Amino acid sequence: MISTHTILFNDSRNVTYVKPESVDLVVTSPPYPMIEMWDGLFSSFSDDIKITLESEKRSEAFELMHLELDKVWAEMYRILKNESFLCINVGDAVRTISERFSLYPNHARIIASCLKLGFDPLPLVLWRKQTNAPNKFMGSGMLPAGAYVTLEHEYILIFRKGNKRVFKRAEEKLARMRSALFWEERNAWFSDLWDFKGTRQTLYNTDLRGRSAAYPFELAHRLINMYSLYNDTVLDPFMGTGTTTLAAIASGRNSIGIEIDPAFREHIEKRIQSFIPYATEPTTSRISSHLQFIKEYSKNKDTPKYFNANHGFPVITGQEKELQLFSIEGSSQNGTDTTVIEYKPLGKYDSKPPVKKLRSPQEEQISLF
């Protein structure tokens, strides 16, 4: 099995170079309107946005920023296949303008936009990325009527284009079975509350730090495995530091990443090349977690009734019997902007969890997950 991973430095408001109905899944996180760090980017899209921000017209600026994002969601609807998914990680914004503190509900505005395009909204996920910072509370603290609830969550919006995906051909059914999740993963991942903290992602170029709001590897990795199969194509229209691409490499999916700022090129390329030698780790971690789960399950409940045909370990349901996991065999470049990854099937496993590789101090300087 192989996968290809292409980086495109373009504006995602117009992706005519991507064929209609050619993408199986979009996983992304846009710049958040009304978050101050993104004012410059949105102002570069429209003089009207710059003017409304300078004149402190709050509602007008919020709407104008979302009108620019609307163009991206329209392009995603065009390039997504029927029966495919759009997953958007977004947070609401809070901001004081003209001495008035207010919430700007980005998630609600994006839902409204995607509904107009024809997407069907599915149950969303609350990603609780809480902080223990002593100054996290906003307002007057202990004094009534002047404090504000702390925002410690973001939204993962999930949409489907068209009907439920149907698997008719034998090869499609087999690909689906090989792409299965473990029973315990299904239970945790398809919950509407995810409770893990955001991972600090070190940027070797300090000039990029103010232009990056990367989500953690775990978020993208879950969504890709939940809503796509091996060899499907995953696209991220706001590539940033390339987390979706890394998760696609680890998951045996093809990917396309689109980034408007060419200053990210060197960082993205270094991050991908640094990740490849360790790209099997998320898979071996899944296996380690599963073996530990089976150990606890067998001790506290019952002996599992099924065994996985490809790896030999016990599983809880018959749907996991054909699940197939892969390791990274090698990589090569196809031109300047496309990386090709080769995989080989992992074989039988004994009861010992796989050993995790260690990174050198130099490699730790570029955060992978």
> How much is the pLDDT for 213?
54
| β-pairing verdict for 338-345 and 147-148 | unpaired
Share of the chain above pLDDT 90, in %: 78
The reported pLDDT for the residue numbered 198 is 54
Name the residue ranges covered by the structural domains of the chain.
2-133+149-278
- What does the pLDDT read at residue 106? 98
Q: Average per-residue pLDDT in the chain? A: 89
Confidence of residue 130 (pLDDT cuts 50, 70, 90): low
Looking at CATH, the fold of the domain delimited by 2-133+149-278 is given as: Rossmann fold (3.40.50)
Over residues 51-79, the mean pLDDT reads 96
Instruction: Average the pLDDT over each of 116-120, 154-158, 357-361 and give the range with the smallest value.
Output: 357-361
Checking if the pLDDT of 368 tops 90, the result is no
- Rounded to an integer, the average pLDDT of 81-96 is 96
The mean pLDDT of 307-318, rounded to a whole number, is: 96
Buried b (16+ CB within 10 A) or exposed e, 338-355: ebebebeebeebeeebbe
pLDDT of residue 366: 39
Query: Averaged over 193-206, what is the pLDDT?
Result: 59
Query: What is the pLDDT confidence band of residue 286, given thresholds at 50, 70 and 90?
Result: very high
CA distance readout (Å), 364 to 164, 271, 369 = 41, 11, 10
CA angle 182, 187, 190 (to 5 degrees): 105
Mean local confidence (pLDDT), 60-77: 97
List the single range of 179-193, 260-274, 324-338, 350-364 with lowest mean pLDDT. 350-364
pTM of the model: 0.89
Over residues 115-143, mean pLDDT: 80
Name which of 33, 98, 16 is nearest 68 in CA terms.
33
Rounded mean pLDDT, 147-151 = 82
Torsion sign across C-alpha atoms 223, 227, 232, 237: negative
Compute the average pLDDT of residues 102-131. 94
pLDDT at 215: 85
pLDDT at 351: 47
Binning pLDDT at 50, 70 and 90, where does residue 137 land? low
d(CA 244, CA 23): 14
* DSSP string computed for 3-24: EEEEEE-S-TT--TTSPTT-EE
The mean pLDDT value for 188-209 works out to 65
Contact yes or no for 75/15 (Cβ under 8 A): yes
Residue percentage of the chain with pLDDT more than 70: 87
| 335 or 50: which leads in pLDDT | 50
Say yes or no to pLDDT of 363 above 60. no
302-312 pLDDT tens trace: 889 999 999 99
Instruction: State residue 152's pLDDT score.
Output: 87
Whether 341 and 328 have beta carbons less than 8 Å apart is answered as: yes
pLDDT of residue 144: 81
Encode pLDDT of 201-257 as tens digits. Answer: 443 344 443 444 578 999 999 999 999 999 999 999 999 999 999 999 999 999 999
Query: Which of 97-101, 282-286, 306-310 shows the lowest per-residue confidence on average (mean pLDDT)?
Result: 97-101
Check pLDDT > 70 for residue 195. Answer: yes
Tell me if 91 sits within 8 A of 151, measured CB to CB: yes
